[in-house]
Structure 1
C-alpha cells in the first residue's frame, strides 16, 4: 500500500519457474511459496471491461489488465466513459495512484498517452 501511495506497483515473481503473479501465497503454476517482490513498470493492456454502478448511482469502469510483466489484475479505469474502452487499449497506473472516491487500496489506471 505504501508503494501505491508513491505511484509504484509491486508484484511477485516465482524464484523457481519465474512466473509473475499479483499478491499470491503460492505460485499459480508450480505452487512454490518462494516468491520475490518486484516493481512493475505500471503499464499494461485492457483484456476485459465491466461497468459497475455504485450505491451513489455513479458509474465506474472496472477492467482486467494484462500487465507488461506478465501478470493480470483488476482495476478501476479513470477518465473514460463507460463502455468506450476496447480490449488491447494501453493503460498506465495513475500517477496519483488513487481517486478521491476510490476504496482503500483500489488500483486506478488511465489511458496511456
Structure 2
C-alpha cells in the first residue's frame, strides 16, 4: 500500500506534491488508468491501492472559455488533457486570454499565491 496514502488524505497528498513543485496524479493499477481528481478508491474498480505519480506537466487545451468581468481584465478558464491521461481545469497564463485556443500545447507550472493559500497548477504555452 502506498505509504503516502496512509498518512495523508488524497487532497493533502496532492497539495504536498504541489508544494514540492510537482503536478501529481494517482494511478490505478487495477484499471491501468490515471485517476484525477485525487480519490480514496479507484473509480470503477474500487481499488484502494492507488499509486501517486508525478506528471511531466505537458498537455493540450481541450476546452477554453474567456471570462470578461466588468472593470477587470479578461481571463481564461481551460480544461487541459494531460499526456498521462487525465484532465484538469485551470488557466493559461503568459498570453492574452483571447489567444488561448483548443489544441494549444501547454506546460504546467505550480502557482503559489502570495496570501498563503494552497498552491495550484496553472499552464503556460509550450514553446513551439
Using the size of structure 1 for normalisation, the TM-score is 0.81
The 5-angstrom pairing of residues 76-91 of structure 1 reads 76-91=91-106
Q: Give the paired residue count.
A: 111
CA contact (8 A) 2:34 2:86 kept: yes
What's the offset of the Cα at 1:78? Answer: 0.6
Give the 3-state SS of the residue equivalent to 1:83 in structure 2: helix
Give the 3-state SS of the residue equivalent to 1:77 in structure 2: coil
Alignment-derived partner of residue 111 in structure 2: 98
Alignment-derived partner of residue 32 in structure 1: 47
Structure 1 segments (4+ residues) deviating >2 Å: 24-34, 52-59, 99-106
Which structure is richer in relative contact order (CA contacts within 8 A, separation 6 or more)? 1
The Cα offsets for residues 19-73 of structure 1, whole Å up to 9 and x where unpaired, read as: 1022123323434332111110011000001123468723221110000100111
Structure having the higher helix fraction is 2
- CA spacing shift, 1:54–1:17, aligned 2, 3 Å: same
Structure 2 residue 23 is the aligned partner of structure 1 residue 20? no
Q: Which runs of 5 or more structure 2 residues have no equivalent in the other structure?
A: 1-14
Using the size of structure 2 for normalisation, the TM-score is 0.73
Q: Which runs of 5 or more structure 1 residues have no equivalent in the other structure?
A: none
Structure 2 residue 78 is the aligned partner of structure 1 residue 63? yes
Distance 1:61 1:21 in 2: 25
